[in-house]
Amino acid sequence: MASVCASPENRKSVAAVVVTYNRKDLLLECLDCLCKQDLGALGERYGLSVIVVDNASTDGTEEALATLAESGKITYFNTGENLGGAGGFNYGMRKAVELGHDYVWVMDDDCMTHPDTLREFLIAGEGLNGEYGYLTSVCLWTDGTPCSMNRQRHPLHHTIEDFTPELQPCTLASFVSLFVPADVIAELGLPIKDFFIWTDDWEFTRRVSRKYPCYVVGTSVVTHKCKVNGAGNVAIDSGERIARFRLAYRNDIVLYRGEGAAGYAYVAARDLNHLWRIATEAKGRKLERARAVLGGTFEGLRFHPAIEYVKRPEKRQPLPSAGC
């Protein structure tokens, strides 16, 4: 692996937080991409450290990272159990803030950053004089087309279709390359770990965008090496994902509850549309699919998970020299 910038005391520190679970090969590729970040002249003012949050993988991930962790080139945490994506990001962002990093850059283990991804975030942040809640990258699939599951929204129900080099306002964004000042996390709280999976990124980014302007940085680009370029669809997905959709509908209630009556109206209209699609498009297991929609929605009405907070340290702890 090539060298990642160190974080001397006189530099602002960026912590790349990577959450992983049983995808060792993708994780190693992700880390290699992070090691190739080219900050240019900004390397004099910023440094990059890497934090890996392992949701108790059983595929040899910990052993594969042992040398990097022991040498201090990455900071490795094993959660001891699978906390889901939501719990993993909650854990990693908490650790990054507690360690004294100034910015937290979150991503999944199948997010492949480009050499200038971070540099473009830093340029945009300085151009905004630090007056933003978060910055988010343009996310492409492996064929170079936009990755549909990671398209940002602005306003709330409008998917951004065209990405330009100029900054674009953003309301909702995914955790596939999200750049957040540690002060914002300390003020507004961590992702909701009780979600386990799905909606944790949208709820967190909406929480932030309600208070601060947030932006898509069109020149900051990543590649998402997910298996297919498509968002989940309860009407046509198969296998264990059908049952997991219950969590998505439950968690969405928490997200849209914050929008008041308009949010509930949106959820009602969307759920009716999804039930119609199940009736007309599903090839089987229609009752199970409908139960995921309705069961998750009604469960969400009673679901009020807590938002956890983290304090920034009064004095920054010595940060690891992250060189891969």
In a domain, 271, yes or no: yes
Domain check: are 163 and 26 in the same one?
A: yes
What is the Cα–Cα distance from 138 to 202, expressed in whole angstroms? 16
In a domain, 231, yes or no: no
Domain check: are 25 and 117 in the same one?
A: yes
pLDDT tens digit string along 261-282?
999 999 999 999 999 999 999 9
Domain check: are 98 and 131 in the same one?
A: yes
Domain range holding 47?
Answer: 12-224
**Local structure of 313: helix, strand or coil:** coil
pLDDT tens digit string along 21-63?
999 999 999 999 999 999 999 999 999 999 999 999 999 999 9
Q: Are 82 and 61 in contact (CB under 8 A)?
A: no
The total domain count for the chain is 2
> pLDDT band for position 232 (50/70/90)?
confident
**Local structure of 291: helix, strand or coil:** helix
What is the Cα–Cα distance from 69 to 313, expressed in whole angstroms? 23
Average pLDDT over residues 309-314: 94
In a domain, 6, yes or no: no
Average pLDDT over residues 105-134: 98
Domain check: are 277 and 130 in the same one?
A: no
What is the Cα–Cα distance from 318 to 128, expressed in whole angstroms? 28
**pLDDT value of position 4:** 45
Domain check: are 218 and 158 in the same one?
A: yes
pTM, whole model, 2 decimals? 0.93
What is the Cα–Cα distance from 155 to 44, expressed in whole angstroms? 37
Domain check: are 194 and 139 in the same one?
A: yes
**Local structure of 72: helix, strand or coil:** coil
Domain check: are 187 and 48 in the same one?
A: yes
> pLDDT band for position 314 (50/70/90)?
confident
Asked if pLDDT for residue 318 goes beyond 90, the answer is no
**pLDDT value of position 240:** 73
**pLDDT value of position 5:** 42
Domain check: are 112 and 67 in the same one?
A: yes
Strand pairing class (12-20; 215-224): unpaired
Q: Where are the beta strands (DSSP E) in the chain?
A: 12-20, 46-54, 75-78, 103-108, 111-113, 135-140, 168-169, 178-181, 215-224
Residue ending a domain, choose from 180, 198, 224: 224
Token readout for 222 is 């990543």
pLDDT tens digit string along 177-216?
999 999 999 999 999 999 999 999 999 999 999 999 999 9
What is the Cα–Cα distance from 77 to 312, expressed in whole angstroms? 19
Domain check: are 90 and 215 in the same one?
A: yes
In a domain, 55, yes or no: yes
Site of tokens 């990097």: 68
Average pLDDT over residues 114-139: 98
pLDDT tens digit string along 156-181?
989 998 898 899 999 999 999 999 99
What is the Cα–Cα distance from 90 to 34, expressed in whole angstroms? 21
pLDDT tens digit string along 58-112?
999 999 999 999 999 999 999 999 999 999 999 999 999 999 999 999 999 999 9
Token readout for 96 is 């990054």
Residue ending a domain, choose from 190, 224, 258: 224
Site of tokens 């947030």: 214
**pLDDT value of position 317:** 58
In a domain, 312, yes or no: no
CA dihedral (291, 81, 173, 227) in degrees, to 10, reads -80
Domain check: are 106 and 186 in the same one?
A: yes
Domain check: are 69 and 104 in the same one?
A: yes
In a domain, 115, yes or no: yes
In a domain, 186, yes or no: yes
96, amino acid identity: A
Asked if pLDDT for residue 3 goes beyond 60, the answer is no
What is the Cα–Cα distance from 93 to 318, expressed in whole angstroms? 18
Domain check: are 103 and 250 in the same one?
A: no
CATH number at residue 184: 3.90.550.60
